């Protein structure tokens, strides 16, 4: 599993509390941390870096993932008129330098392109990756929210394997299971990272017919599995796919992180997995 920090600014933690939380999930064996330059309106990486600065030794225990290419309208960019994407050579290099400074680290373990850019020049991106690798600023590269053809295009220009495609996977929205995305990653033996596994909380509190159907099914299966919580069943459902997704946990509550990790012990049958599929679709399999 991966600990996500996109809501770090909302957790209202002191730097010491952030460090304690980081050490607690490291102790659980969750050592990969997921960031992006834009999270918290460009603030979350800085907040994380403040915690690492209190005990720089923790850097040896974690794998740091960050993303770039989204440009947000923000107080940090007062002249920007619209949100847009930028995978140009200079922007990628500039974004990484800013992330390294904010995080207080010398190297990213993984850099992901955050969203597909209609103007992406794959050769230019590969040149940026080569420069970053040469200067020791990034160890590995991947993408996020890419279609199989977009993934193939960038991979055709990059001489090392892209290490992941971070995509949305949850029982309400799982198009990547059927559109070839996870088929491709399984073929390449590349594990996807799964974001929004709880559908932004909609699976727990949503009132749509779909959300209610799925929640009732998740609850019933949880009882069959010995009293597992709904979120534990969701994580188990995501991890049951043979592409071996790595769920990203978004909670800043260490007890919920502990509970999420227990999903590894849940073994959904194929029928249980498909009951959740049917509840989401609202119809039986063809």
Residue 218 is predicted with a pLDDT of: 98
Contact 224, 272 (CB under 8 A): yes
pLDDT at 250 over 90: yes
Q: Is the dihedral of CA 168, 6, 115, 53 positive or negative?
A: negative
| Residue-level pLDDT at 34 | 98
Instruction: Write down the pLDDT at residue 169.
Output: 98
Closest among 32, 30, 194, 7 to 109, alpha carbons compared = 32
User: Using one digit for the tens of pLDDT, what is the confidence trace for 22-45?
Assistant: 999 999 999 999 999 999 999 999
**Structure confidence by residue, pLDDT tens digits, 68-113:** 999 999 988 889 999 999 999 999 999 999 999 999 999 999 999 9
The verdict on whether 134 is a catalytic residue reads no
Contacts of 39 (CB under 8 A, 6+ apart): 5, 6, 7, 8, 9, 45
Considering the entire predicted model, what is its pTM?
Answer: 0.96
Instruction: Tell me what the mean pLDDT of segment 255-269 comes to.
Output: 97
Task: Determine contact, residues 220/204, Cβ cutoff 8 Å.
Answer: no
From 39, 42, 85, 235, the catalytic residue:
39
Residue 208 has pLDDT above 90, yes or no: yes
pLDDT of residue 265: 96
What string of H, E and C letters represents the secondary structure of 159-190? Answer: CCCCCCEEEECCCCCCHHHCCCHHHHHHHHCC
pLDDT, tens digit (0-9, with 9 covering 90-100), for 45-74: 999 999 999 999 999 999 999 999 999 999
Kindly report the average pLDDT of the chain as a whole number.
Answer: 98
Q: Residue 205: pLDDT band by 50, 70, 90 thresholds?
A: very high
pLDDT at 229 over 90: yes
pLDDT attached to residue 76: 83
Distance (Å, rounded) from C-alpha 147 to C-alpha 199?
20
Name the band, by pLDDT with cuts 50, 70 and 90, for residue 136.
very high
């Amino acid at each position: 599993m991966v600990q996500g920090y996109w809501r770090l600014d909302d957790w209202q933690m002191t730097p010491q509390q952030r460090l304690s939380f980081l050490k607690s999930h490291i102790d659980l064996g969750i050592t990969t941390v997921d960031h992006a330059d834009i999270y918290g309106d460009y603030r979350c990486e800085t907040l994380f870096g403040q915690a690492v600065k209190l005990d720089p030794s923790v850097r040896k225990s974690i794998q740091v993932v960050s993303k770039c290419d989204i440009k947000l309208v923000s107080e940090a960019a007062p002249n920007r008129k619209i949100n847009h994407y930028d995978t140009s050579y200079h922007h990628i290099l500039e974004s990484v330098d800013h992330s390294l400074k904010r995080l207080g680290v010398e190297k990213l373990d993984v850099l992901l392109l955050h969203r597909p850019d209609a103007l992406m020049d794959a050769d230019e991106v590969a040149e940026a990756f080569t420069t970053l690798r040469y200067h020791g600023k990034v160890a590995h590269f991947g993408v996020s929210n890419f279609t199989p053809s977009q993934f193939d295009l960038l991979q055709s220009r990059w001489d090392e394997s892209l290490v992941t495609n971070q995509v949305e996977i949850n029982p309400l929205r799982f198009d990547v299971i059927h559109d070839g995305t996870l088929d491709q990653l399984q073929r390449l033996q590349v594990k996807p990272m799964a974001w929004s596994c709880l559908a932004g909380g909609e699976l727990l509190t949503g009132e749509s017919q779909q959300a209610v159907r799925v929640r009732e099914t998740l609850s019933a299966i949880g009882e069959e599995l010995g009293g597992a919580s709904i979120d534990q069943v969701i994580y188990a459902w995501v991890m049951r796919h043979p592409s071996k997704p790595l769920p990203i946990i978004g909670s800043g509550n260490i007890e919920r992180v502990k509970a999420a990790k227990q999903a590894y012990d849940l073994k959904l049958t194929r029928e249980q997995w498909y009951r959740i599929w049917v509840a989401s679709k609202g119809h039986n399999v063809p």
